[in-house]
Amino acid sequence: MRRILVTGGAGFIGSHFVRRLLREHPEYEVTNIDKLTYAGSRDNLRDVEGDPRYRFVQGDICDRPLVEELVSQADAIVSLAAETHVDRSLLEADDFIRTDVHGTYVLLCAAREQGIERFVYVSTDEVYGAVPEGYSSSEMDPLRPRNPYAASKAAADMLCLAFFASYDLPVVVSRGANTMGPCQYPEKMIPLFVTNALRDEPLPLYGDGRQVRDWLFVEDHCEALDLLLHEGTPGEAYNIAADNYRHNIQVAEAILELLGKPRSLIRHVADRPGHDRRYSLDWSKIRALGWSPRQGFDEALAKTVAWYGDNEWWWQKARSGDYQDYYQRQYGWRLEAAARQEGEG
């Protein structure tokens, strides 16, 4: 294995993964196909643009001729390209079905035709749906996605495993927990809260803020994907997590504390419909392969917050243009209602 095709490498996790492949595997050549949606940016990989082992192709994973051409030049595929934001999927899910489901199918067909050596599909813990307190999802559990994003990922996840069962395509599926780190588009909770706090704007916290998530640092997530690319057993899924459980409100408080901002910036707003209360993964299977996370929650959050503090140009650019329309649509009425309630209370 020498030529790796990464999809979605201009996004958050993908850009860290591309950089890691180039750094850790000096013999590898990496091609990155990315459509450059609002969530992707070539800024995320400026530092490797000049590397002769790296090639960027702007393109859509649904574009069959392009995908066939790129797959014919690759030994392995790591697929991260997706529409990824739950809230956007609740507003309108067309692009999620197109990219996450059909795009993955196009990649699988090309991989099968070309006899690819390894296909890593980057799925998510959200495919299991909400899990009760005291329980952690194992890879054998049924998938019970509860929002359109999670459902589109679950469909692709199952398609991948079906291609192994039906055609022996050497697919490995990863199901990672919530991830934080530099270069995450500021619609997601942590960069949203960090950049709002840096601007002294309110932090819109859904519902009572007692939803539980397990937080993984992006470098740890990428190290696990690298391991699965090389050591994962075809036909198997692997959970990736860190046991860094926090309520969302604790995350908001920790961010404000790191930035020296007042707790009064937190605004409880109307919850996301169908908001999963808790995710938790049993990750003993990947631990047995020799991986465990290096970063605890506090260290990971401090690094993440510091990066946004040092890279205002990056997030100001991300927050311009369409972002403002999205933000208004998602949070405008919620923040107004919260302010009205506060006034009445």
Q: Contacting ligand NAD (CB under 6 A), which of 4, 8, 146, 335?
A: 8
- Residue 297's identity, in one-letter code, is F
Q: Is 80 in the site for ligand NAD (CB under 6 A)?
A: yes
**186 exposed, middle or buried (CB, 10 Å; 0-12, 13-18, 19+)?**
buried
Q: Does 179 bind ligand NAD (CB under 6 A)?
A: yes
Kindly state whether residue 99 participates in binding ligand NAD, applying the rule CB under 6 A: yes
**What residues does 76 pair with on adjacent strands?**
4, 118
Task: Verify whether residue 149 is a known catalytic residue.
Answer: yes
Minimum CB–partner distance for residue 59 and ligand NAD (Å): 6
Contact call for residue 19 and ligand NAD (CB under 6 A): no
Round to whole Å and give the CA distance between 51 and 67.
Answer: 23
Which C-beta is closer to ligand NAD: that of 120 or that of 335?
A: 120
Supply the minimum distance, in Å, between the C-beta of residue 180 and ligand NAD. Answer: 8
Q: Which residue has the tokens 């019970």?
A: 144
Catalytic residue among 100, 126, 220, 223: 126
Chain centroid to Cα 287, Å, comes to 21
Q: For residue 312, indicate whether it is catalytic.
A: no
Residue closer to ligand NAD, measured from CB, 80 or 172: 80
222 binds ligand NAD (CB under 6 A): no
Q: Which is nearer to ligand NAD, 59 or 209 (CB)?
A: 59
Q: Which one from 105, 121, 149, 185 is the annotated catalytic residue?
A: 149
User: 26 to 65, contacts with ligand NAD by CB under 6 A?
Assistant: 33-37, 39-40, 60-62
* Residue 149 or 338 with smaller CB distance to ligand NAD: 149
Which of 4, 14, 214, 318 contacts ligand NAD by CB under 6 A? 14
- Among the listed ranges 78-86, 140-148, 226-234, 247-255, the one in contact with ligand NAD (CB under 6 A) is 78-86
Of the candidate residues 103, 191, 204, 293, the single one contacting ligand NAD (CB under 6 A) = 103
Which residues are designated catalytic? 125-126, 149
Binding site for ligand NAD (CB under 6 A): 7-8, 10-14, 33-37, 39-40, 60-62, 80-84, 99, 103, 122, 124, 153, 176, 178-179, 185
